Amino acid sequence: MPFRAATLALDAQRDYARWLAQQPVAGVAVWAHTGRGPHLSAEERRSVLSTWRAALPDKVIVAGANSVEMAREAQSGGADAAFYLYEAAGGVAYDDDTLRALLDLPAVIGIKVATLDSVMTFQRIAAVAGTYPDKLLVTGEDRFLGYSLMLGARAALIGLGAALTDLQVRLLAAFAARRYPAFLQLSSLLDGFAAATFVRPMEGYVRRMLWALAADGVLPPDACDDPWGPTLGPEEREAVQRAVREARAGAGVGG
């Protein structure tokens, strides 16, 4: 979510929503960790949801909620669904038996896995999920997006998708179409981008994604503040800008 100091940059948010509406995505998540949903006031949440609903009238909008009240706000504001938002965005570590019990439930359509830096955990969970062909494995793996697709993920819900969205959609499409040279090229480029944005301090990724959007010409350079994130130096912003340039150049896309 773009901020100027501690003030939500409504103009930048509208421009961002219009830009993302032109990307080939199925929908967006609002009020989530990347958008600092738990920190927004009720008025700010209503404004955010209204902006995205207006920009994406025919796409799916899911809203993060850490209370029943927020879930009701999301429903009344036009969100298609709400999901429980953990305060620490840490999720739950399921053992195999628990995972199978969940996937056995008729109402469960799939599972999202976001381990960040534990490839072995993703491999284990993907192996279990692979025995349920009617269930959807959704990747949340910003640092190994391409590999998570190779392990069976068929959709993505990732903070990384906030920027360079088109390249990530091309990655998924290339894998689905078995265009493996293009897939490998895009996977390498996006891994490089992730290595510049999802690094310690990890909480700084929110600001880094705003910097990436500004480097891509989507946000104005002054609307990249994160009031709740760590202080990051100018050298880190340059690293993000360089990663965006390299990804665009490598993919043959200007911007």
The tally of CA atoms less than 13 A away on the side-chain side of residue 77 is 29
pLDDT of residue 255: 40
> Tokens 């946000």 belong to which residue?
219
For the chain, which residues make up each domain, given as ranges? 1-89, 92-157, 165-255
Name the nearest CA neighbour of 171 among 187, 193, 152: 187
**Beta strand 7-8 pairing with 3-4:** antiparallel
Task: Give the containing element (helix H, strand E) for 103.
Answer: helix 96-103
pLDDT at position 90 is 55
Cα–Cα distance between 71 and 81 in angstroms, integer?
Answer: 8
Closest CA to 51 of 97, 11, 3: 11
The pTM for the full model equals 0.92
Tell me the residue ranges of DSSP E strands in the chain.
3-4, 7-8, 27-30, 60-65, 81-84, 110-113, 136-139, 155-156
CA atoms within 13 A on the CB side of 167: 30
Sign of the dihedral through C-alpha 100, 102, 105, 106? negative
- Ranges of residues in the chain with a pLDDT under 70 are 86-91, 253-255
What's the pLDDT tens digit per position in 44-85?
Answer: 999 999 999 999 999 999 999 988 999 999 999 999 998 877
Please give the pLDDT value at position 215.
98
Neighbours of 228 (CB within 10 A): 12
What is the C-alpha separation between 145 and 237, in angstroms, rounded?
23
